[in-house]
Amino acid sequence: MIRELANGEWKGHTTSSAPQTSRGQRRGRTSTVCVLALLLCSAIALRVAEAATRLPYTVKWTSTGKGAINSTLKMTSQLAALRTSAPVGPFGLIARARGDVKRLQTVLHSFGYYDGSITITIDGVGLDRAGLGKALNALPKGKAAHVKITPVLGPLFHIGRIDIEGTLPAGMKRTFGLASGAPAVASDVLAARARLQKQLQDAGYALATVAKPIAYEEPAQRLLNLTFRVHSGPHVRIGSIRIQGLRHVRESLAMRQLPLHPGELYDTASIEKARQALLRLGLFSSVTVRRGAPDRRRRVPLTFHVKESKRFAVGVSAAYSSDLGGSSGVNWSDRNVFGGGQRLSVSATAIDLGGTVSTGIGYDARVGYAIPDFHRRDQTLGFSVTALRQTLEAYTQNGEMARTTLTRRLSSDWTATAGTGYEHERILQQGRNYTYNLLSMPLSAHFNSTDLSSPLLDPTHGFKISIRVAPTLSSGASGQQWFVILQGSIATYFDVHRLFPSDPPGRTVLAARLLAGVAEGASQFSLPPDQRFYAGGSGTVRGYAYQSVGPQFPDGYPQGGTSMQAVNLELRQRIGASWGAVLFADAGGVAAGSQSVYRVGVGMGVLYYTSIGPIRLDFAVPTRPLRNGGSFEVYIGLGQAF
């Protein structure tokens, strides 16, 4: 049999002849209409009778021994999917079961089991047994029928010969990722076809097409021989480049984002990078690329169609933890002040609303301004002014800060930032008032290989690395002194699907993070209190109140230290389409001189997934409670913990 792969299914080819219409047939139209009307009335009557005799039923599955196949069968079955949402009568149940037989056999074929079979029984009786409908009709009202689905895999087919009809560049057949002897899994074959077409387009064959493969079955050998029909088309280069849809954004800004030039070899990967670069500006809600026909010089024009985002945005924010209490704020931004992507943002947030470690209401107000492409592409100059008040058990802080930053995107994964900052602050700690003036020159580097467009989305692979060095000149209570704050973190994510393919991708993820920091050049109490290290709370060791883990004054309030370390481990599990759960354990502590305090907290959380990220509720407990510490902590926020 010859099979064509379409939508994950090998379809056999059949032929038929088209019927011809005669004059005699046209004369029978009136009688045909009458027959159709009679059939329609009968169908309506049958539907009414069917609705009056709805038959509840249960579905029991026999395992194939393959987790991925089991889950795909269950997701494909209409008997399972429509059991409660679309109830049917006895004959409707039989029809639904017969439809599932072919539907589920297609699933077995897609995994390479072409001799597999599906057996479905209702109350132990086969679907073709005479009198099944009458027997189901005779069931007492409310009694459920029992459906049993038994899939039998049979032998696994493998790929035999792989033939290419058409011309490929030298060596490309060896790299498209399909080999003789591999299991004949439909998704793998389709992926190889897509990969081959992309490789051709990346090599400059913009018009290349690879047709759906044809499979020639050899049942005795349990083989499928594959034929890929390839049309490479001409070898082309990039022609003119245009951007359409601009209204308020300057064309010069948009064009600078494109790492493409006319005359370069056509490369789909580079074109996609250019599209992503436009999206990263934050000025467009969508970007699509249209390819024109090659000209006489075999150059393909490209047109980027953009849709600008709304220029102004207003948002609200809220969070809660039992230690810091609630926070609530509003923010406003202008994404394109002068047409060059300049961004003005204003935010105001009330903080420390009723937490166990807060002693009064605080605030965090900020005005920021950013200039993209400052002197070069992928470089942003930023300014910000902040007014802050924190009312905590460790200290009360009132401060005003001004910062300037220059951020450069070094690659798709790396960014670096350099800046200067000035802070004037007044701090109350242990009944004494301190005034500090801080001048800092922070340098930082960030690596992110999680391939996510938003920090609120769920990472399932890759790393996040952050390193920060902040030389600081302090003038205040302890005179004038230099010190350096060094901080670093590394987080990684592992999809359990890589170990257990039966677990769907992204459903079960292990996440881990390591934090560390140290202050050099100053002793514990010569450091301003807000520059010291603290542990405890949602960012370090959950289950302990914010800043509570570390050396303490005699009254039990936090001192802060000169170094900090913490490690966080999480098991994240998606449940259904919208829910999730997480188990976590944190360990960490703070040291100052010969003093050091380390603690471990454990907990669990519930997540509800929205279009902008998961809403997360965590409950954590300390394994060794501190003096004056609580017995548990609760955290509510948007996005994952890290």
Asked if residue 172 and residue 98 are part of one domain, the reply reads no
DSSP H or E segment with residue 364: strand 362-371
Asked if residue 339 and residue 480 are part of one domain, the reply reads yes
Sequential DSSP letters for 557-611: -B--BSEEEEEEEEEEEEETTTEEEEEEEEEEEEEETTEEEEEEEEEEEEEEEET
Asked if residue 330 and residue 439 are part of one domain, the reply reads yes
- What is the spatial distance between Cα 405 and Cα 372, in angstroms, rounded to a whole number? 12
Query: Is 4 contained in some domain?
Result: no
Radius of gyration of the chain (CA): 33
AA identity, residue 327: S
Of 129, 152, 175, the last residue of a domain is 152
574 closest CA partner among 607, 546, 552, 598: 607
Asked if residue 486 and residue 470 are part of one domain, the reply reads yes
| CATH (domain of 268) | 3.10.20.310
pLDDT in tens, 73-123: 999 999 999 998 899 999 999 999 999 999 999 999 999 999 999 999 999
pTM for the full model? 0.73
pLDDT of residue 21: 42
Four-CA torsion 173, 175, 178, 182, nearest 10 degrees: 120
Query: Is 25 contained in some domain?
Result: no
pLDDT of residue 27: 43
Query: Is 297 contained in some domain?
Result: yes
Inter-residue contact 511 to 489 (CB < 8 Å): no
Asked if residue 510 and residue 424 are part of one domain, the reply reads yes
What is the 3 state secondary structure string of 121-150? EECCEECCCCCHHHHHHCCCCCCCEEEEEE
Asked if residue 292 and residue 324 are part of one domain, the reply reads no
**Low-confidence residues of the chain, pLDDT below 70?**
1-53, 173-175, 477-478
Tokens encoding 201: 């387009």
Asked if residue 357 and residue 265 are part of one domain, the reply reads no
Using CB atoms within 10 A of its CB, is residue 478 exposed (0-12), middle (13-18) or buried (19+)? Answer: middle
Query: Is 534 contained in some domain?
Result: yes
Asked if residue 298 and residue 261 are part of one domain, the reply reads yes
Asked if residue 473 and residue 561 are part of one domain, the reply reads yes
Query: Is 31 contained in some domain?
Result: no
- CB count within 10 Å of CB 534 equals 23
- What is the spatial distance between Cα 600 and Cα 416, in angstroms, rounded to a whole number? 33
Asked if residue 273 and residue 356 are part of one domain, the reply reads no
Domain that holds residue 479: 312-638
Query: Is 98 contained in some domain?
Result: yes
pLDDT of residue 501: 77
Query: Is 20 contained in some domain?
Result: no
Asked if residue 396 and residue 329 are part of one domain, the reply reads yes
At residue 135, what are phi and psi to the nearest 5 degrees?
-65, -40
pLDDT of residue 19: 39
Number of domains in the chain: 4
| CATH (domain of 416) | 2.40.160.50
Asked if residue 532 and residue 394 are part of one domain, the reply reads yes
- What is the spatial distance between Cα 420 and Cα 441, in angstroms, rounded to a whole number? 4
Of 208, 231, 254, the last residue of a domain is 231
HSE (side-chain half, CA atoms, 13 Å) at 487? 16
pLDDT in tens, 276-316: 999 989 999 999 999 999 999 999 999 999 999 999 999 99
Of 197, 231, 265, the last residue of a domain is 231
Query: Is 295 contained in some domain?
Result: yes
